[in-house]
Amino acid sequence: MFRFRVAEPGSADFDVWLRLRTELYLDAGLINPEDVDATTGLYRDAYSEHATHLLASDDEGDDIACCRMIESGDGRTLPVADLFGVECHPRSYEASGLAVVPRHRDAFVFVGFYRAMTELADQAGHEYCYSIVEEPTPAALQRFGYPIRVLTEPLFVFNAPNVATVIARQEIRAWMEQADDPRASAMARYYRKPFEWTLTREDLAP
């Protein structure tokens, strides 16, 4: 079972979030040592002030993954706008800062994070999810039928060619309800259930 929680700014959980992302980003080569603050040893950017930070822990209680939901609004921009020049819909957010320890680096924990962000997006009235992903990722998702759209040409950021993407959340709902693939049907059932901030393999069983 994975358990998900919000890491509130100023809390011990938020310190864990910063440390975990810094370590995993360095290990993956997404940032360079000079990007890390020399005093704190942590990587930070300007988006933390308008983001909700999420942590995932495993059965042993170890924190094994992090991500964040950056929200748009008056005076608040998203990385896809600042780095790629994308004009974002006002009711939108960006999925960002996703990093997972190697032993859990499969698609499973990602589903729980996106379910958590969907819960928060429903509460906030957001309809569009933007993200910056490495260039091969959208094509792989599209082969599965996932309704992700590429908005830009590749740009070399985070030490790799990346593209800006968007997903309309109503299209995700329609895809999960209509897809023949049993994985989509399992996700639809999971998304319809009340969210308990957990995810087990049984939740996504065909």
d(CA 170, CA 175): 9
Who contacts 166 (Cβ-Cβ below 8 Å, separation ≥6)?
A: 80, 86, 92, 128, 129, 130, 131, 148, 149, 151
pLDDT at position 67 over 70: yes
pLDDT at position 74 over 90: no
Averaged over 178-188, what is the pLDDT?
77
**How high is the pLDDT of residue 204?**
85
Averaged over 7-16, what is the pLDDT?
96
**How high is the pLDDT of residue 173?**
82
Residue 129, both tokens: 């999810």
pLDDT at position 206 over 80: no
Residue 154 Rama label (left phi>0; alpha psi -120 to 50; beta): beta
Return the half-sphere exposure (C-beta side, CA atoms, 13 A cut-off) of residue 126. 22
Q: Per residue in 80-120, pLDDT tens?
A: 999 999 999 989 999 999 999 999 987 789 889 999 999 99
pLDDT at position 196 over 90: yes
**How high is the pLDDT of residue 15?**
96
Instruction: Give the mean pLDDT of the chain.
Output: 91
Distance from the Cα of residue 192 to its chain's centroid: 20
Name all domains of the chain by residue range, CATH numbers in brackets: 2-199 (3.40.630.30)
Locate tokens 């060619």: which residue?
A: 161
Least confident of 32-46, 59-73, 177-191: 177-191
**How high is the pLDDT of residue 181?**
74
**How high is the pLDDT of residue 183?**
74
Q: Per residue in 141-173, pLDDT tens?
A: 888 778 899 999 999 999 999 999 999 988 888
**How high is the pLDDT of residue 4?**
97
pLDDT at position 19 over 80: yes
More confident: 108 or 121:
121
pLDDT at position 175 over 90: no
d(CA 165, CA 79): 11
User: Angle, to 10 degrees, between the axis of helix 107-124 and the axis of helix 182-192?
Assistant: 40
Q: State the DSSP H helix or E strand holding residue 118, giving kind and residue range, or none if neither.
A: helix 107-124
Res. 179 pLDDT band, cuts 50 70 90 = low
* pTM recorded for the entire structure: 0.91
